[in-house]
Structure formats: C-alpha cells, structure tokens
DNA sequence: ACCCAGGCATTGG
DNA sequence: CCAATGCATGGG
C-alpha cells in the first residue's frame, strides 16, 4: 500500500471519527479498520500509516481527492502557534493534537449533506443521508459513490420524501441539483461572495453557506456562528460571551480550525 | 407520548 | 426588522 504523506502532526483515527460517530456514512465508509471511498468509479482504501496514510490505489487522481478529504491543506502548525497564545485553545489543543478536520471533496456533496443536517440531530441526518446515498449512488465494493448532481436532478420529490426528506428539503435538494449555479466556480470567489451565491438558492441559508466555506473550501476564516453545537461549545468555554458571531474575531484568521477544535473539545469533555 | 436536535422559508406584526 | 410556525427523523 502506497504512502501518501500528510503533514505532521496527524492523528488519523481521531480525525476520521466524524465518519462513524453519528452513524454509517456509505460514501466515506469505515470498515475493516480503514476508510473506503469511491473516487471516479474506483474504490480507494485509506488506512493509518506512519508519516501519512496508506492509499490503495494511489495515483494523481486518488491522491488529490484523499488529500482534500483528509484536510491536508490546513496549516496546523500555524494554528497551534496561534492557539498557544489563546488561553482556552491552549488548554484544548493538547488532548486533540493531530486533529485535521475532514473535508467534503465535492461541493454538491457538501451542500446536500448540509440540507440533510438542517434542524435535525446528526443521528437523524446520517440516517436520511445514508438512505439517499444507497438509493441514488453507485456502489463500489465497500463504499458507495455519493450521488451526482446530474443523477439527483432527474429524481422526483416523491423518491426523496420516501427516503425521509421532508417535502421542503426534497424541494431544496432538487432545486440545488437543477440550478444553474456553477458550484466549482465558487472556489475562485471571496468568502462573502460565496455566501451570497449559496444563500441565493432556496433552502440554503447562512448556516449552510458557512459550513460550505468551512468544510468544502477550507476557508481559514469560516465561522458558522449560527451552528447550535458551536454555540454551545463557545458558551461552554467562554462563559462571558453574549455574541457568538463576534466571538469569532478573537480567532482571526483561524476561525475555521478554532470552530472544529471547540466542537471536538466539547464532544470529548 | 413527548421533546429536542449542528435550519430554513413563510407568514404576520 | 423581529416573533411564531411547520417540517420528518431518531434518540432519550
């Protein structure tokens, strides 16, 4: 199995908790001690390895996707340098050192995942999302490829509600799939312009746009201030805070990583 | 049975 | 501009 280097420090087991904590994720499947994902029709196996991860098969295509998926682009050293100067983060970081927030490798996947997670518990969201993937996705050996925008554009509202989507959310997913917005082009735009374009779509509000910036584009300053869990984490670690959005300023320019570390720290506390 | 959970659009003031 | 409401599911 070929080694794909991930910058140190990197804790593979800790970083991939997201894929199994709230339920089964067929698109990023944890099985046999490894992470499995379909990449352009082929299945890739990703496992812990010294100095990075073992990837099979490893080539230019799978390598780029796995680096993206595992959040290799985050500059943890710079973040830790900053965290050492911030009392709360300085306390939080040691226990979860090597945590690299995983990313959605694809924008459509990122947005549909957000729609499934709106308002409901992540357990419920995973269940619906899992059925969606199994129904519309293409199965590999272990994992199932996340459904493509093109396939979902051909779906019906009834198919989606049968999987557990509310009527409204079914409309949102179909509207997204059928919209004329170029999701790949968003990577070229500044944060605020990305948010404006995402929120122009029905069913995608500021919360979804912020997580898109954070978990697809890996924008350093993304700060999903409306997120219920992040709000709880901020209030738990900063009892004096009254304005969670404004509280993000103290982490500038590391709001994204700070949010992920606060969430993880709350989970493990 | 009931309540809440990592929102959002809609409606009405 | 802000408050109230409905939404489908899964876990407690």
- What does the DSSP assignment read for A65-125? HHHHHTTTTS-HHHHHHHHTTSHHHHHHGGGGTT------SSHHHHHHHHHHHSSS-HHHH
What is the rounded CA–CA span in Å between residue A47 and residue A49?
6
Q: Is there contact between A5 and strand C, defined as CB under 7 Å from any strand atom?
A: no
A117-120 — which CB contacts under 8 Å span 24+ positions? A118/A169, A118/A207, A118/A208
From the CA of A205 to the C1' of B12: give the distance in Å.
21
**What's the confidence (pLDDT) of residue A13?**
97
Whether the predicted pLDDT of A164 surpasses 90: yes
Say what the pLDDT of residue A1 is. 81
Q: Cβ of residue A115 near strand C, that is under 7 Å?
A: no
Distance A52 CA to C5 C1' (A): 49
> From CA A136, how far away is CA A64, in angstroms rounded?
25
CA dihedral A189, A67, A86, A251 (to 10 degrees): 10
Q: Is the pLDDT of residue A269 over 90?
A: no
Could you identify the residue written with the tokens 């709106």?
A118
- Which residue places its CA closest to the C1' of nucleotide B9? A203
- pLDDT interval class at A80 (50, 70, 90): very high
What is chain A's mean pLDDT, rounded?
98
Backbone angles phi and psi of A183, in degrees to 5: -75, -25
Q: Look at residue A268 in the predicted model and tell me its pLDDT.
A: 86
Q: Strands (DSSP E) along chain A, which ranges?
A: 2-5, 29-31, 34-39, 42-49, 52-56, 138-139, 144-145
Q: Name A98's Cβ contacts closer than 8 Å, sequence gap at least 6.
A: A9, A10, A11, A14, A15, A76
Nucleotide nearest to A165 (CA to C1'): C8
């Amino acid at each position: 199995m070929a080694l794909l280097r991930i910058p140190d420090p990197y804790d593979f087991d800790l970083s991939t908790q997201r894929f199994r904590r709230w339920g089964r994720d067929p698109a990023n499947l944890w099985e046999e001690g490894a992470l499995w994902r379909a990449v352009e029709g082929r299945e890739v196996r990703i496992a812990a390895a010294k100095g990075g991860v073992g990837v099979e098969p490893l080539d230019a295509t799978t390598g780029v996707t796995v680096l993206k998926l595992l959040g290799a682009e985050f500059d943890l050293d710079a973040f830790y340098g900053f965290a050492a100067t911030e009392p709360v983060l300085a306390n939080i970081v040691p226990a979860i050192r090597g945590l690299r927030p995983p990313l959605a490798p694809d924008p459509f996947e990122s947005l549909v995942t957000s729609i499934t997670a709106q308002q409901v518990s992540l357990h419920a969201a995973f269940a619906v999302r899992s059925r969606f993937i199994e129904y519309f996705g293409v199965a590999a050996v272990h994992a199932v490829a996340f459904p493509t925008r093109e396939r979902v554009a051909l779906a019906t509202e009834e198919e989606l509600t049968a999987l557990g989507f509310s009527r409204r959310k079914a409309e949102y997913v179909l509207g997204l799939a059928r919209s004329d917005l170029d999701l790949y082009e968003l990577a070229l735009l500044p944060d605020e312009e990305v948010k404006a374009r995402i929120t122009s779509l029905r069913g995608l509000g500021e919360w979804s746009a912020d997580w898109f910036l954070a978990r697809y584009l890996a924008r350093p300053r993304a700060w999903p201030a409306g997120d219920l869990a992040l709000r709880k984490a901020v209030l738990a670690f900063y009892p004096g805070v009254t304005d969670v959005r404004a509280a993000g300023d103290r982490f500038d320019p590391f709001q994204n990583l700070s949010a992920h570390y606060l969430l993880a720290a709350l989970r493990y506390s």
